[in-house]
Each structure stands twice: as structure tokens, then as C-alpha cells.
Structure 1
Amino acid sequence: MSSFDPSESTVGQSLDRGIDLFRRAHVGDAAPVRPTSPRRVLLVLDGSGQDACSAPLAAYLKARFGCDLYVADARESDRSEAKAVEVATQLHAKALPRTEGESYEQILAAVARADCDLAIVPCPFGREPESVGPHSAGLTTDMLLAQSPVPLLVVRWPFPVKPYFEDNPEQGSGEFPAAGGASPFAKLVVMVVGENDAARPAAEWAAGLIAPGGNLNLELLLEEEFYQNVRAALMELDPDGDVSHERLTRALRKEYGNLHAGLAKAAEAGGFGYELQTRREESAPNITAGPGDRLVVLPLERGDHQSEGHVADTLRRTANPLLVVPTAVRR
């Protein structure tokens, strides 16, 4: 069974797609952006400090969207169902029975049993982030990235979560109190590298999750390695051609022109702020500052090494929660 392995990246694939993007610079799919919100959410527990953040995030989604909520404990070291039952009782959710297998297999089985459209998972699974270093995600996360049929809301460094209350959003209710907590749904950043078939569903999830009055950014990131590969190949084809960062950046903006227009319309209809940004890799913002500062949304095109590598790298170096939206998402 193969795992999510961005190390298999090939320059040839990046060149083919980069040259195609550079030459065509088309405007993409003209379909409107339809905000997506969760209907059935799976909360995965691992006994680590991330549980104290994951549970309030699940409570927020349940309170805001009225979604069905399921709880699964996927630890291999403790087969008891007591923790799942305890948390499910607090959240007015349903605890799922334990299944056999490794943690990632238990999680995938729970996703299928709950028929959920979103799973909240800790990373690294079963360990505190500081125990494995800043550049490790763990086998469980890698396998979920490779196989999960639904988006993953990945919790890295825990933080106090501000609850959502429909009548008094700034007040606490006694359930998972978080006075002075942060709301990662108030600021969302959709980060896209090159062409990506998961960009539209990722944008739709972002438009559905952004808090009213919040701010959503679509960031088109031009990685330096990608640029240098494309530049070298195009210079061989046309030594006198314009192969500047600026031209490839303009091609990216044209590629996502309709997605940009759709998000702008969704922002106007949904009452949230929206901005399109294009950045070179070295000018990308520091997304590790403040774990609850924002939610980073990453489209994952499976089988595309550039997309897989970007997701793996971002996951390992960020403290923010991430929403990973893969291709072949169950809708």
C-alpha cells in the first residue's frame, strides 16, 4: 500500500504543466463558486493536546451549521471507547464503535461509517507537536492525505477556540468555554500552486466556512523551483522570449480569472471580504505565526507531485489549522 510521498516528484511533470500554463493562460472553468458547508462531521480523537482544540472546532461547526457530528477514538494504544463517549456526550454527538487496524485504517472506516463530508484530525497523530519536531507529520497523516475521500481539517498546534453562538456570538455558553479565544474561520487563505484541479472545490469550501464579516484571500503562489524549471525549458524553445516572473505570474492570474470572479461574487453575496494575491515563494507570508490566526486552505490534486509536495511542506511547517481539500472529494 503506497503512502502520500511527495519525494517521487519529477521535473518532467512540472515542466509539462508549467509550459502548458505559460502558453495557454486560459481563463479556466466559468462555473460559479457555490459555497460548501459541512453536513456530517467526524471528530477524530488521539489523546493528545490537540483534542482540546479539535473538540471546540467541532462544536463551532455544529453550532453554526447544524451539522450531524460523530466522534471516533482511533488510538491503537488504548482500545477503550470511554473517551469518545465522554466527548460525544459533551457535544451532543454520536460516538462510533472501535474498529480494527492501524489508526489511519480506523479513521477511514469511521469516515465511511459516518458517511461524513469533513473529518477533523490531529497532526501528528497520537503525539504532541513538540515531541516530533516542526518538520514531521507522521504516517497516519500521510496515509490520510493519500486516501481520504473527504476534506481534512488538520489541527497542528492547539489554541483556544472562540465558540460560535447564533444569538450572541461573543458570549460563552459553558460548553468548552474559550474566553478570549481565536476564530480561525474569521480569516481564510486559499493557497494554490500552479494549475490544480482541486482549486475550485477548495475555494467553495472556503467560501462556505468563512465567518460573516471575515476575510478570504486567494493566494496564487509561484514557487521558485517551478519557475526555474519552466524558464529553462522555454529558453531552449525560444532563447529571445520573455520568461520573466511577472509574465508567468500574469499567466497564473489569467488561469484563475473565473475562479477569482466567482469568489468576488460569493463575497458580495455572503458579506465577507475577498482579495486575490499573487506571490513569489520568497515573498509568501509567514503562516506559522499564531496558531489560531487563520485557517489555511490547501487544494490537493492527487497524482500531481507539485501539489502533493506543496501540501506536505506546508503541513510540516505551519502552526495554523489547515483544511486540505483533495481531488475526488465526496460531495
Structure 2
Amino acid sequence: MLDVGDRKPSGIDDAEAIRLREYLTMPDPTRRHVDDELNDSMDLFERADVGAGIEIARPRPKKILVAMDGSAQDRAVALFAKQLEDRLSCEIGYLDGEGYRSSPNSQPRVEGNVTVVDVDSSLENDYDQILAAAESFRADLLLLPCPFGRDYESLGEDSTGTVMEVIAARSEIPTVFIRRPDAVGRDPTSHVRIVLTRENAAARETANWAAGLVQPSGRLELLLMVEESTYKNFREIMNSLQPDAEFKPEDLESALARTYAQLHSGLQRASREHGFSYELIVRYEADEQPMTPEEPVTHPALIALGLVRHDHDSRNEIHDFVRRSPHPVLVVPVK
């Protein structure tokens, strides 16, 4: 496990470390006009190394809206809703209307604290109906299959569907997207992995929700992953500033770890207080093993991602993760 408080990026001094920090916070990794803004980010870099860990709030959903569509994914959606209802005693709302009928294979249905939520038929699009129902039900968590209205096999990894894209862009509450019909069996909250690839304004809220949903005896991971494209762009920028210097993925890994030092510390404390196991993983994307449902020991049952809704790059990253993940994905939005 990486000690984010003591380790510094290898082979570079403080000036280059500041440039690393600036690169991680740039909204566009291809921009080249960085020199004028490097000095402005010095205080941000220093703040990553000081102060106590942040407080992890651990929210628990009280009202969950479930939207089923008759697809093969319905069973996985219904089972996850039942698991949450059994453990958290939350109220489950099911959409009732044309196009929201569950398939015969979607059992088990939640039999306890269930509410039927009517669909506003005056709204033409599925995503508008779902968002309106979530607001009227006052849901604090949304569960739905992805792609919505079609079996996963009809699109595969090529697309997440329009409903997912619009829900992610507009929803003000966290949403769990379930991609594959075989995402059933163990409770997804038994093993939750938060994935962060750069500075993300939704990171803290994502950690709150992940820690709130993970089972008391479950496993929570914080994966700080340096994307291959990010590293290549970073290396190009840094080589233009220091042509003779050598930079490795580990330099970005260290800078990313220092960025989230306080979040890591807060999650460590939360794990001690609430009993779940916790691990920090810092990894270069090129070394990351593909996520498959056949490897439950090494791969998580639920991925947790933070979405900055106004950020185009953040939205694209969410779509890419949801599209490729064989596991349910929790998307936690901030404005």
C-alpha cells in the first residue's frame, strides 16, 4: 500500500512536482499554455499534503426508485433492489406505466416496503418520465438497466443508450446502472471500488456514498488510476519543459496519490470505525487487468464513479466506464 503522506514523485524536484499537480487539474489534457498558470496552482499542490483526513458522511438511501423495462437485465436490477431493502429497510418505488412492466424473469420482486410510482404519460421520453418520477417520489437513489428498453446483447459494449446518457447528465441523485443480465449473485455492496483518474470535484461525495453502501463486513477500495492517454499527454508536456528529463507513470501515480491523501485518510478512519476493510490501490491503466464477472475475488461487484455534470470530460469518462464495465456502476453527481 502506498504511503501517500511521505512518498514524493521519483526523479523530480518540487518545481516539477508543482507542474505535475497542475497537469492533473487541467480540464483539457491537450492544452499547452501551462507556464502562466503553474504558479497559481502551487498552493493547491501544497494543500494535498497537509491537514487531517476528511470526514466520511456515509449517507444511506431511504427511498430507492427502480425502473424496469422488460429486458434481460431486470432480474439483476430487482435482486439488487431487494438486497438493499432487506439490509437498509429503505422504501422501494417501482415505476408503473407503459414500457415499465417487468419481465417474467425479473423475480424476485421486493415484497416489503414497496410503493407504486405512476408515470407521467404526458412526457414523451423515457428519461423525462424517470426523472419526473424520481422527483415526485423524492428518491435519493435510482436503479435502472442499461441500455434502457433493450437487452444488453443487442448493443453490447458499443453503446450505453440515450436514456443512460441523459439520466447521467440531468439526475441530481446517485444512479446505479446495471449493464449485464449476469450481474447477479453476490450483493454488489459486498465489494465496492471507487475509481478516480484525476482531480474530481465529486470525489468526496462519491466516497461518502460508497462508504455508506458497503456492507459492514464488506470491502471498499479506492483505485487511483493513471490513464494511459493522460500519461502520454503529460510526458509530452513535461518533455517540452525539460527535454533531458525522464518521466515514468509512477511520477503521475505519486502526484495523484498526494492529491487524494486526505480522502484516503478519511476512508481509513471510516473503515476502522465501521468495520469494513479498506485498501488504497494506485495503478497505471496499462497495468490494469480487465474487469470480468468471473473473478469475484479480485474484481469489485460495484464500481463507484464521481460525475461533475457540467464537465464534458467527466461525462465522457462516466459513459466509457459504464459502457465497458461488466458490473453495476454507481454514478454520484455534483453540479
Q: Distance in 1 between matches of 2:295 and 2:111?
A: 24
Amino acid paired to 1:313: D
Structure 1 stretches of at least 4 aligned residues deviating more than 6 Å after TM superposition: 13-16, 79-83, 86-89
Q: Distance in 2 between matches of 1:66 and 1:46?
A: 24
1:325 aligns with 2:329: no
Q: Distance in 2 between matches of 1:14 and 1:302?
A: 25
State the Cα deviation string for residues 82-113 of structure 1 (Å, max 9, x = none): 99xx9977344111112122000001101110
Q: 1:24 to 1:80 in 2, by over 3 A?
A: closer
Cross-structure match for 1:223: 227
Amino acid paired to 1:272: F
State the Cα deviation string for residues 271-295 of structure 1 (Å, max 9, x = none): 1110001111111232233497511
State the Cα deviation string for residues 190-217 of structure 1 (Å, max 9, x = none): 1111000111111111111111211111
Q: Distance in 2 between matches of 1:189 and 1:265?
A: 17
1:243 aligns with 2:212: no
Cross-structure match for 1:27: 48
Is the partner of 1:324 in helix, strand or coil?
Answer: strand
Q: TM-score, normalised by structure 2?
A: 0.79
Q: Distance in 1 between matches of 2:216 and 2:97?
A: 34
Cross-structure match for 1:309: 316
Q: Distance in 2 between matches of 1:277 and 1:155?
A: 24
Amino acid paired to 1:97: D
Counterpart of 1:65 (choices 88, 92, 104) is 88
Cross-structure match for 2:4: none
- Deviation, structure 1 residue 305: 3.8
State the Cα deviation string for residues 11-61 of structure 1 (Å, max 9, x = none): 446986x97599826427853112121111111111112121111211111
Q: Which runs of 5+ in 2 are unaligned?
A: 1-26
Cross-structure match for 1:135: 158
1:122 aligns with 2:145: yes
1:261 aligns with 2:284: no
- The worse-fitting range, judged by mean Cα deviation, of 215-224 and 45-54 is 45-54
Over the residues paired in the alignment, what is the CA RMSD in angstroms?
A: 3.0
- Deviation, structure 1 residue 230: 2.0
Q: TM-score, normalised by structure 1?
A: 0.80
- The worse-fitting range, judged by mean Cα deviation, of 35-44 and 279-288 is 279-288
Q: Is the 8 A contact 2:173 2:333 kept in 1?
A: yes
Counterpart of 1:49 (choices 57, 72, 80) is 72
Q: 1:253 to 1:79 in 2, by over 3 A?
A: closer
Q: Distance in 2 between matches of 1:219 and 1:66?
A: 30
Q: 1:91 to 1:56 in 2, by over 3 A?
A: farther
Q: Is the 8 A contact 1:37 1:209 kept in 2?
A: yes
State the Cα deviation string for residues 61-97 of structure 1 (Å, max 9, x = none): 122112122111465xx487999xx997734411111
- Deviation, structure 1 residue 318: 1.4
Q: 1:288 to 1:115 in 2, by over 3 A?
A: same
Is the partner of 2:263 in helix, strand or coil?
Answer: helix
Cross-structure match for 1:175: none
Q: Distance in 2 between matches of 1:88 and 1:259?
A: 37
Amino acid paired to 1:144: I
State the Cα deviation string for residues 152-204 of structure 1 (Å, max 9, x = none): 1111112475xxxxxxxxxxxxxxxxxxx312111111111100011111111
Q: 1:307 to 1:79 in 2, by over 3 A?
A: closer
Q: Which runs of 5+ in 1 are unaligned?
A: 1-8, 162-180
Q: Is the 8 A contact 2:221 2:281 kept in 1?
A: yes
Q: 1:145 to 1:290 in 2, by over 3 A?
A: farther
Q: Distance in 2 between matches of 1:14 and 1:56?
A: 49
